[in-house]
Amino acid sequence: MEQRISLITLGVADLPRARAFYESLGWRGQQVEETVFFQAGGLAFVLWHEDDLADDVGLKRNPRHGFRGVALAQNVRSSEDVDAVVAAARSAGADIVRPPAETFYGGYAAYFTDPDGHAWEIAYNPGFPLAADGSLTIPDFG
Amino acid sequence: MEQRISLITLGVADLPRARAFYESLGWRGQQVEETVFFQAGGLAFVLWHEDDLADDVGLKRNPRHGFRGVALAQNVRSSEDVDAVVAAARSAGADIVRPPAETFYGGYAAYFTDPDGHAWEIAYNPGFPLAADGSLTIPDFG
């Protein structure tokens, strides 16, 4: 598993309110369906409805030892890389909360939680190319 | 507030266990007192005891609408920049959970929460220089 992070996704209760908050701080995002993407250096900062995010991760929202409302992600270069990272995570003691599977956007992804329950998505998304250095640039959805 | 993220800090219950997990995935961190820093592209991924992190943020750990165990951070170039970003955040509706103050490491920092309770630290840390592009490189603590 390469030592990098590609996205930070925050579960939010009210997407327009959350987007307005960050945009009032000067950030500029692009909304794609029910998600807002912000380019943040070499990574993407993402706002998404917390129920949808919890559903996607495969964890219950908000109980004491459940979903924290935050998911980290690492995008990789192929479906095979997803499988390989998930296998490594399982070997390291991760709980595979969502086994690798094809996604609605034509990619392939899985989620695991670390020993403290922090959620990580490992994803192959052919629509989000990675630079040679592993950095991710959000495509222009306009 | 510039559109970038400098650190991702995860609160953990057992620091050696958490470090071992990430290192077993191939990541390599540097421990500094009770914190482990991992370089992750242009940002730092940090593990820290969850009680200490919660104390630092100024939120209670884990109640339903309390601290999620995750803090995002943006490092800026001066104490004045901390004050300016915190003022902008307050104007945007943030709750300033820890007002700007000098830190034990010779810096200056504050925390706010966004409308969903996600915690952000805004910090000036003279020991962590920022590149012209805003990227942060962890110093060699060795």
Contact check, Cβ <8 Å, B10/A38: no
Would you report the helix, strand and coil content of chain B in percent, each value rounded to 5? 20, 35, 40
The pair of structure tokens assigned to A22 is 């960050």
| Residue in chain B lying closest to A64 (CA) | B62
**ipTM metric:** 0.73
Segment B98-132, tens digit of pLDDT: 899 998 889 999 988 887 777 788 889 898 888 88
Task: Report chain B (142 residues): mean pLDDT per 10 consecutive residues.
Answer: 80 86 84 87 82 73 61 87 91 86 90 80 87 78 68
Task: Give the type of residue at B139.
Answer: P
- B115 closest CB neighbour out of A11, A17, A42: A17
Q: Give, in degrees to the nearest 5, the angle at Cα A83 between A82 and A87.
A: 120
| Residue in chain A lying closest to B74 (CA) | A40
Q: Which of residues 56-115 of B touch A (CB under 8 A)?
A: 62, 64, 68-70, 72, 85, 88-89, 91-94, 114-115
Cα A32 from Cα A47, distance rounded (Å):
10
CATH 3.10.180.10 fits A7-124, yes or no: yes
Model confidence at A82, pLDDT cuts 50, 70, 90, reads: very high
Q: Estimate to the nearest angstrom the gap between the alpha carbon of B16 and the chain centroid.
A: 19
Cα A73 from Cα A92, distance rounded (Å):
17
Model confidence at A86, pLDDT cuts 50, 70, 90, reads: very high
Q: What's the confidence (pLDDT) of residue B83?
A: 96
Task: Give the type of residue at A56.
Answer: D
